[in-house]
């Protein structure tokens, strides 16, 4: 990545934060820190922040308090995060569900990591983690497709859509940078 042109982009961004949205497993949390480093931005992972504040895993929050409680926490945290400029934020896949959240997301640039379904289903099947209660004990493929069907039109409201297959985080971050440059040019 050419340094001068990245410096130009950073200037053009004028401190606007970048929100990474997309389905579970699309690479938001792994790409976010790399993107932040390139842009010399701060980095926040929304799920991690919630886990730190509550001292509970996402899974435990869903079990003990329920999804609505988690969604409300998500909104409260987002409301705080937007106070900080120049931040890359990796959101949880369901952050797009509440209309209210879009009011916050729109204060920055919203980037949809639109990952190839086959790639992500294989990935999710292999890495069952405590942060994905919606898939726990379910047929991952069916559940994933069901959730995507509900959300895909909402994700499509992002400012930028970046198609992802099986590339590594650095390539994804560079794709995002290219998309941002393209957007800013127009």
Span near ligand S3P by CB under 6 A; candidates 2-10, 86-94, 102-110, 167-175: 86-94
Encoded one letter per residue, x for contact with ligand S3P by CB under 6 A and - for no contact, window 132-151 reads xxx-----------------
Q: Using the rule CB under 6 A, which residue among 58, 82, 110, 121 binds ligand S3P? A: 58
Determine, following the binding rule CB under 6 A, whether residue 32 of this chain makes contact with ligand S3P.
Answer: no
Residues 31, 20 contacting (CB under 8 angstroms): yes
* Cα distance between residue 140 and residue 154, in whole Å: 21
Q: Using the rule CB under 6 A, which residue among 24, 78, 105, 172 binds ligand S3P? A: 24
Q: Which of residues 102-131 bind ligand S3P (CB under 6 A)?
A: 131
Count of CB atoms within 10 A of residue 58's CB? 22
Q: Using the rule CB under 6 A, which residue among 29, 31, 87, 101 binds ligand S3P? A: 29
Q: E-assigned strands of the chain?
A: 18-21, 42-45, 87-90, 109-115, 160-164
Determine, following the binding rule CB under 6 A, whether residue 51 of this chain makes contact with ligand S3P.
Answer: no
Q: Kindly list the distances between the CA atom of residue 144 and the CA atoms of 49, 109, 121, in Å, as whole numbers in the listed order.
A: 24, 26, 7
């Amino acid at each position: 990545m050419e340094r001068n042109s990245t410096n130009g982009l950073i200037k053009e961004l004028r401190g606007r934060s970048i929100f990474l949205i997309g389905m579970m497993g699309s690479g938001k949390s792994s790409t976010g820190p790399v993107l932040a480093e390139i842009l010399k931005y701060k980095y926040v992972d929304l799920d991690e922040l919630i886990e730190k504040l509550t001292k509970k895993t996402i899974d435990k929050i869903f079990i003990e308090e329920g999804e609505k409680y988690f969604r409300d926490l998500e909104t409260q945290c987002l409301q705080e995060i937007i106070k900080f400029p120049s931040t890359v934020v990796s959101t949880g896949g369901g952050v797009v569900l509440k209309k209210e959240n879009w009011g916050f997301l729109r204060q920055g640039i919203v980037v949809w990591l639109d990952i190839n379904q086959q790639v992500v289903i294989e990935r999710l099947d292999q890495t069952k983690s405590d942060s994905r209660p919606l898939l726990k004990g379910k047929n991952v493929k069916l559940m994933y497709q069901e959730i995507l069907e509900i959300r895909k039109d909402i994700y499509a409201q992002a400012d930028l859509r970046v198609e992802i297959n099986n590339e590594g985080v650095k390539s994804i971050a560079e794709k995002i940078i290219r998309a941002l440059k393209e957007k800013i040019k127009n």
